[in-house]
Structure 1
């Protein structure tokens, strides 16, 4: 728990114990409006096929560069605030 502002959740899609989607659902219930950025080394089709994330959800593909991470974080924050 933190009392400070959380602007973005950056989480792997598949983790031991809890999926990134479940983590995002829990955090968004407590702090609506934060950005969520998923990352994964799995293919889009594999994630959608297993029902982990809805098709069309933005995912940062591993491995990624620093520039790709920065762009994806910026996009996720803008999406959370409704800016484009």
Structure 2
């Protein structure tokens, strides 16, 4: 999986939370780096977790671009803003997976499991 977050401390924390139960985690703190990682590892990245608001681009635009490279990848969006505020700005739309920051290790783990599990249920 790939975690994209411009705030380095949150990037490191999220990566460590996900590595603890055994996920293989790649990280990027810029959109450009995320795109390169997906190009290089498209067969192994099943989920991208991205901040919604970043300096170079918003998470939705980044996810849409990444999905052109790897269409089967799942996306989970995270933000310190509430989902209502982000939806009002048109960045999040219905049916997008979202987790509110700050999150606990348990909350992130459960949400990632939910997103990955929904993928398997939808493919059967």
TM over 0.5: yes
**Following the alignment from structure 1 to structure 2, what is the Cα–Cα distance between the partners of residues 31 and 79?**
18
The structure in which a higher percent of residues are helix is 2
Select the structure with the greater relative contact order (CA < 8 A; seq sep ≥ 6).
1
TM-score, length of structure 1 as denominator length:
0.87
**Following the alignment from structure 1 to structure 2, what is the Cα–Cα distance between the partners of residues 63 and 29?**
29
Does 2:111 align with 1:72? yes
How many residues were matched structurally?
A: 83
Relative to structure 2, which stretch is displaced further, 65-74 or 49-58? Answer: 49-58
TM-score, length of structure 2 as denominator length:
0.61
Does 2:81 align with 1:46? no
Q: Per-residue displacement from partner, 1:32-82 (whole Å, max 9, x unpaired)?
A: 111111111111221111101113422111110101111111111122332
The gaps in structure 1 that reach 5 residues or longer are none
